[in-house]
Amino acid sequence: MPIQDEVVQIYHKIQKKVNHPYLNRYLPKPAVDIDKVLTLFLLFKQHGSYKNIEQYVMSVMIAQMGLDTHEKITKNEKLKGLELKQRQLTVLSGDFYSSLYYYILAEQKDIQMVKWISQAIQELNINKMHFFYAENDANIDYYFDHLRQIESHLIIKLAERLGINDWTDIIADFFFLKRLHLERDYLDHTREDTHTSYIYHIIQDTDIDKRKFIEQIENKMNQIRNKWSMDILPKKQILSKHLGYLIDHFTKESPSFTRTTLLKGRINYAD
Q: What is the mean pLDDT of residues 216-234?
A: 79
Verify that 79 and 117 share a domain, yes or no.
no
Q: What is the pLDDT of residue 236?
A: 45
* Domain endpoint, select from 200, 219, 238: 219
Determine, yes or no, domain membership for 225.
no
How far is it, in rounded angstroms, from Cα 130 to Cα 2?
A: 41
Average pLDDT score over the chain: 79
Evaluate if residue 42 carries a pLDDT over 90: yes
Verify that 104 and 144 share a domain, yes or no.
no
Q: Contact at 8 Å (CB) between 113 and 145?
A: no
Verify that 2 and 59 share a domain, yes or no.
yes
Verify that 23 and 73 share a domain, yes or no.
yes
Closest CA to 156 of 143, 145, 172: 172
Q: What is the pLDDT of residue 64?
A: 87
Verify that 257 and 167 share a domain, yes or no.
no
Q: Could you read off the pLDDT of 165-181 as tens digits, one per residue?
A: 999 999 999 999 999 98
Q: Give percent above pLDDT 90 in the chain.
A: 29
Domain span at 162: 111-219
Q: What is the pLDDT of residue 176?
A: 94
Evaluate if residue 269 carries a pLDDT over 80: no
* Domain endpoint, select from 109, 131, 157: 109
How far is it, in rounded angstroms, from Cα 78 to Cα 254?
A: 41
How far is it, in rounded angstroms, from Cα 3 to Cα 181?
A: 27
Determine, yes or no, domain membership for 38.
yes
Q: Give percent above pLDDT 70 in the chain.
A: 73
Q: What is the mean pLDDT of residues 92-104?
A: 76
Q: How many domains does the chain have?
A: 3
Q: What is the mean pLDDT of residues 250-261?
A: 66
Q: What is the pLDDT of residue 255?
A: 65
Q: What predicted TM-score, i.e. pTM, was given to this entire model?
A: 0.85
Verify that 137 and 201 share a domain, yes or no.
yes
Q: What is the pLDDT of residue 70?
A: 54
Q: What is the mean pLDDT of residues 56-73?
A: 79
Verify that 265 and 212 share a domain, yes or no.
no
Q: Could you read off the pLDDT of 13-37 as tens digits, one per residue?
A: 998 888 777 776 766 777 889 999 9
Higher pLDDT, 233 or 159: 159
Higher pLDDT, 148 or 131: 148
Evaluate if residue 163 carries a pLDDT over 90: yes
Closest CA to 171 of 30, 39, 25, 2: 39
Q: What is the pLDDT of residue 209?
A: 76
How far is it, in rounded angstroms, from Cα 240 to Cα 198?
A: 35
Verify that 10 and 97 share a domain, yes or no.
yes
Q: What is the pLDDT of residue 85?
A: 58
Closest CA to 58 of 115, 10, 23: 10
pLDDT band for 263, please (50, 70, 90 cuts).
Answer: very low
